[in-house]
Amino acid sequence: MSADVLHPPVQAAARNEAPGPAPWLLSGPALLLFVAMLLVPLAMTALLSFNAFDGTRGVLPTFTLGNYAEVLGDGYYHEIFLRTGGLALAVTVLCVLFGVPETIILARMANPWRSMFLVVILGPLLISVVVRTLGWAILMGNQGLINQALMGLGITQEPIKLLFTMTGVVIALTHVLIPFMVISVWAALLKLDPQIENAGLSLGAPPLTVFRRVVLPQILPGVLSGSIIVFALAASAFATPAILGGRRLKVVATAAYDEFLSTLNWPLGASIAVLLLIANVAIVLGSNRLIERRYAAVFDH
Amino acid sequence: MPYLTLDGLAKHFGEFTAVDGLSLSIEKGEFLSLLGPSGCGKTTTLQMVAGFVDPSRGRIVLDGRDITGLRPEKRGMGVVFQSYALFPHMTVAENVGFGLEMRKVPRAERDRRVAETLELVRLGSLGGRYPKALSGGQRQRVALARALVIKPAVLLLDEPMSNLDAKLREEMHIELRGIQKHLGITTVLVTHDQVEAMTMSDRVAVMHGGCIVQLGTPFDAYERPQSAFSSTFLGQTNAVAARVVATHDRCCEVALGGQAEGRRMFVPHEGQRYAGPVDVYLRPERIRLAAADEGVAGRVATRVFLGSHWMLDIDSAVGRLRVSQPNVGTVPPGEGMAVGLLWTDDDARLLHAEAADVR
């Protein structure tokens, strides 16, 4: 995968000649759908976040920054934002720790096995997020399979609390998001020169040194791209924290949901959602720029 | 005693035999080419010498020491790969210095040797660049410098020129040969390009089906091919069907077939016995064009100008013959014109007709 996730390479030829109306006509339907289904609701949410709210009269069409002041000034929301950031960071770190070795092992497998395990790893993406998360809830409960196994083996006396804890949410989200890391690192590994390891060996480097000095630096952009994707998805995850975290372990996405549907304070929910979007975009763009600058001299885009 | 010896080396991949009991001795400082078409086992042979592939059978002996089971990082071979396999995240100087770093050569000496070697391959000023910012020819020089700087036991070149354009390739042939002679480094080149093998090598080993079918100096291999395969793979040749009439001390008397029925030739041999149907091999540059009433009659089918020489295909009484004429400033007969073809019996080579199946 290219170091640049957000700017896919442009064909050199396209820059030289005037493209005519064909590209616009061809991308028109998708563009219309994109505008109608994403940009318009997003803009309306943004506008909504500047409206005032009154408990008895509902949404008031006046301009105010009050919602933002409330979210940014309240320790309750600070905690939610910090928890979300911590959750996303933990999931990202775990995805790197498990996903990278997993992909390298996968890449070294012979073919019937390799295809099979690739399907196994990418499998979670094929299952509805709610179904998958409910599955984890069944496994993680106090009487669930995991705790029964641990107690049966005598590893613990008391059931370990997994459901409605950060630990449970982190485990489930890592499982869900690890395919994105695998795909990203996989793409980077495919770009490696198949002879590059032999080159390292022939120059006198033992296999571990070859990995550390030759292979790892080259797949690092892939790892970082994967991290950005995983972080962004983890920070905005809704279903998994909602089901496994429960009502009390709120993250930003579930907090916004609650403002909309429980408190019915739409403007406040909208401002939470907008702040999450801004934070996410800032972090993703920032890291992308960082990677780009670091690797621009080394790799083709 | 030879410096590098391959003794009955074989490699099987499942049912497929890539290299089939290959034996070869290389002297110190010699430049040897393994020449053959793709799939002839030449690259597998090189990879076994480098240690990337374990032989199924046989031994590799370097300077009196059996290195068959030695790990590649302990062999000290310098390898230049077809794709160059440069480390894209390191600068040119870091690439070249990597092998020295692995050998724990002190910083100052490392820098000095890297600079020296880059100077040798005429890349003195590019040490700070990344491979991405280099041209194909420059990358190739970096790969060469990286392999040379460690003073390798043997320099192994795996089709190093196949990604260069023709002009650059010719320059590199001469330059690489110069560097090799200057350093006196034992070199094994793998290539499918006969020009490359002939211009650079002391000896050429023509490979076919996992075996060496011909081994000798480029001149020897070209002049005295031992099989139809090496005669067609090293340069171009014309095969004319014939029949042995009588065998004399130094030559065979053969009767040409086809429409030239009855025409006799006395082809020299080197003690081999020939009988029955044979092929007479004639190099295109050994056939001369003459007036239509001289020699074997023929008619020009195609005529191509190649600068230094002309290439003509001529339909003659002994079948279609390819004839190469040096460009001496006059235009040879054009398409459709009648010509006569002359050659001397000493220019021909004889091979058993069934050997032609090897092709």
A206 part of contact set with chain B, CB < 8 Å: yes
Residues A241 and A244: their CA atoms lie apart, in Å, by 5
> What is the reported pLDDT for B261?
63
- Within 13 Å and on the Cβ side, how many CA atoms surround B229? 19
B89 part of contact set with chain A, CB < 8 Å: yes
Q: What percent of chain B has pLDDT over 90?
A: 57
Q: Which of A196, A198, A298 sits opposite B132 (nearest CB)?
A: A298
Residue A193: its chain B contacts at CB < 8 A?
A: 81, 83, 85
pLDDT digits (tens, 9 = 90+) for A221-240: 899 999 999 999 999 999 89
Q: What percent of chain A has pLDDT over 70?
A: 92
Cβ neighbours of residue A34 closer than 8 Å, sequence gap 6 or more: none
Residue A202: its chain B contacts at CB < 8 A?
A: 50-52, 72-73, 75, 77-79, 147
Residue B260 scores a pLDDT above 70: no
Pairing of strands B277-282, B288-290: unpaired
The band of B258, judged by pLDDT with boundaries at 50, 70 and 90, is low
Residue B150: its chain A contacts at CB < 8 A?
A: 203-204
Rounded to an integer, the average pLDDT of B329-353 is: 86
Residue A151 scores a pLDDT above 90: no
Residue B27 scores a pLDDT above 80: yes
Instruction: Locate all alpha helices (DSSP H) within A141-251, ordered by sequence.
Output: 145-152, 166-190, 196-202, 207-210, 216-235, 239-240
Residue A272 scores a pLDDT above 90: yes
The domain limits of chain A are: 75-295
Residue B89: its chain A contacts at CB < 8 A?
A: 217-218, 298-299
Which architecture does CATH list for A75-295?
Orthogonal Bundle (1.10)
> What is the reported pLDDT for A300?
53
Q: Which of A196, A205, A299 sits opposite B85 (nearest CB)?
A: A196
Domains of chain B: 4-229 (3.40.50.300), 236-282+345-359 (2.40.50), 288-342 (2.40.50.140)
Query: Mutation test of the interface with chain A: which of B79, B102, B129, B140, choosing the one with the most A Cβ atoms within 10 A?
Result: B102
Residue B98: its chain A contacts at CB < 8 A?
A: 200, 203, 205, 213
Q: What are phi and psi of A47, to 5 degrees?
A: -65, -45
Residue A4 scores a pLDDT above 80: no
CA angle in degrees (0–180, nearest 5) for A106-A111-A117: 45
Rounded to an integer, the average pLDDT of B136-147 is: 93
Contact state of A198 with B81 under an 8 Å Cβ cutoff: yes
Chain B residue whose CA is closest to A294: B89
Distance from CA of B73 to the nearest CA of A (A): 4
pLDDT digits (tens, 9 = 90+) for B69-84: 999 999 999 999 999 9
Q: Which of B72, B98, B147 sits opposite A198 (nearest CB)?
A: B72
- Assess contact for A298 and B131: CB atoms under 8 A: no
Lowest pLDDT segment from A60-69, A226-235, B148-157: A60-69
Contact state of B132 with A217 under an 8 Å Cβ cutoff: no
Residues B265 and B269: their CA atoms lie apart, in Å, by 12
The band of B354, judged by pLDDT with boundaries at 50, 70 and 90, is low
> What is the reported pLDDT for B82?
92
Lowest pLDDT segment from A42-51, A116-125, B144-153: A116-125
B52 part of contact set with chain A, CB < 8 Å: yes
Residue A13 scores a pLDDT above 50: no
Query: Mutation test of the interface with chain A: which of B70, B87, B91, choosing the one with the most A Cβ atoms within 10 A?
Result: B87
Contact state of B132 with A218 under an 8 Å Cβ cutoff: no
Residue A301 scores a pLDDT above 50: no
pTM above 0.90, yes or no: no
Residue identified by tokens 């795909």 is A183
Q: What is the DSSP letter of A241?
A: I
Rounded to an integer, the average pLDDT of A208-233 is: 92
A299 part of contact set with chain B, CB < 8 Å: yes
> What is the reported pLDDT for A297?
63
